A and B are shown apart, each in its own frame.
Chain A
Amino acid sequence: MQCRDVEVVLEQEGLAPLPEAARAHLARCPHCQDYIADLETIVSAAHELPAEVEPPSRIWIALRAQLEREGLIKEPVTARAESASWWDGFAEFFRSRALATVTVGALLAAAAVLELHQPPEPRSVALPLPPEVVATVKQLNEQEVDVRNMRLASTSPADLVLEQNLKEIDDFIADCERHLKEAPQDEVAREYLYNAYQQKAELLAAMLDRGRSVN
């Protein structure tokens, strides 16, 4: 047995009674003897550390709530959980402008890909958008309300341009949505609509950032 083999045995079985071959190698190898001595010292020191304190229950509750918001776990029982989705954490993402825009972009791109891969089927009168996009749009609209409330007092030229362009984007989105209800298979309109959502997300994130830096 070589030193490397002893290390493998230690990794797999720990310091528990070593096999005969390992013990024989250890008896004549000062390097491995030092290695074992170090390990024993570490284990001994670890045993002297105080026991781990159980975190209070509120930590687990908060952690669970956060994980649910981020969609990493789902609660299958309650009605609240059924209506909730991992999009609930979307507003949180707006705290980071880059993340917000990247998130919206990725979601819209994913939705577009899914949409393109789905076979055509009869559409209802409702806007023919995947539920993920509908949820994103809802979040964007809620965010827009917050942004508008935050920025009422601002009169700087840049802010006015942002406001004006947000209105133009909103008008454009409304136009595309109307058209898609009438012509749900129009992929050109759909592409423009998704791009408009993306631009709206970027505008809102920019306005949010400016609002924070001013306030």
Chain B
Amino acid sequence: MWTRSMGRSITLVVGAAVALGSGVPALAAGQRIEKHFPVNGRPVVVIQNVANGRIEVKSSKSPEVVVVAYETSSKVGFEMEQAGDRVDVTASIVDASAQPIDLETSLQLTVPEETELQLKTENGLIYVEQVMGDMTLESIAGDIHLKEVSGYIIVKTTGGSLVCTQCAGKLDFNSVGGGAQILQPALTNVNLRTTTGNILFDGDFIRTGLYSMKSGKGLVEVRFSGSDSFDLKAQTATGTVDNQAAAFLKPDSHGTVGGRLGSKFKGLFGTFGAGLAKVELSTYSGTIRILRRD
């Protein structure tokens, strides 16, 4: 008798321990869970969201990472783990036969202002606001919206697009079908590359900055300001260059490159102001449009 009840107790304790410790989904169907992870200094937050849903990251003054997860079915499980200042959140499909609608989940994170992010999702939107720190954001079909973020920002999508508003630091964007809109930036180094998407850069070129924007088939549009200072090189294979700022662009003042490309070069060189920043625009068969905002 004693042995049987003790055995049952042990079974229960072990079962509970296994359930808590082995990454069994932290959520039941249709539930909301909120977890707080106290951190010191500059945390690193890693999210692997294989499901279909939105990831939203905002900052606060509080030295903690708060994760709020929502899910609509029990076919997706969340695992959350903290190791020092690193917080890992992983959403994984529990039932391989689940339909896309069963896989809808969303994550809301509140992090310290200075936080490094590594976010990866398939379909949902990634939204990051007012976070300072290096970040790598990957998505297959989901869009990525960034607002007032700074650091070394790496964005990689297959079909998703990027909207980056008031971003600062360095930005790398690479996509097959997604476009990129860079609005009011304070970026010193920009490298945008897409095969079929469009690119819009609407903002100032910081002096000594390097800006490279390439789209295989899409539109590459740059709207610069009157106070900018940059050297411009725009080239295309079979597309067109629509220069609506020809009146403001001088012939390339540092012109050692143009002659090397020979007579088959299709595009333009120009200098605006003292030519302090370097801007390279390119498209294979799309259109390059150059505008002055003011």
Contact = CB atoms under 8 A, between A and B. Distances in A.
Nearest to A185: B264
Interface stretch (B3-11, B164-172, B200-208, B232-240): B232-240
Given A165-B176, A175-B285, A199-B195, A188 B141 contact: no
Interface string B202-221: 00000000000010110000
Interface string A173-195: 00110010001011011001001
Nearest to A196: B195
Interface stretch (A9-17, A26-34, A154-162): A154-162
Contacts of B141: 157-158, 161
Interface residues of B, number: 26
A156 B100 contact: yes
Interface string A138-169: 00000000000000000011100110110011
B140 A168 contact: no
Nearest to B235: A188
Main secondary structure of the interface of B (DSSP, over half): loop
B122 A169 contact: no
B242 to A, nearest CB: 17
Contacts of A169: 176, 195
Contact of A162 (B52, B100, B158): B158
B122 A158 contact: yes
A179 B123 contact: no
Contacts of A156: 100, 122
B262 to A, nearest CB: 8
Contacts of A175: 284-285
Nearest to A176: B284
B185 interface: no
A168 B159 CA distance: 11
B257 to A, nearest CB: 13
Given A188-B282, A214-B96, A206 B158 contact: yes
Interface of A: 156-158, 161-162, 164-165, 168-169, 172, 175-176, 179, 183, 185-186, 188-189, 192, 195-196, 199, 203, 206, 214
18 contacts: A156-B100, A157-B122, A158-B141, A161-B159, A161-B177, A165-B176, A168-B176, A172-B195, A172-B216, A175-B284, A176-B284, A185-B264, A192-B214, A192-B216, A192-B284, A195-B193, A196-B195, A214-B96
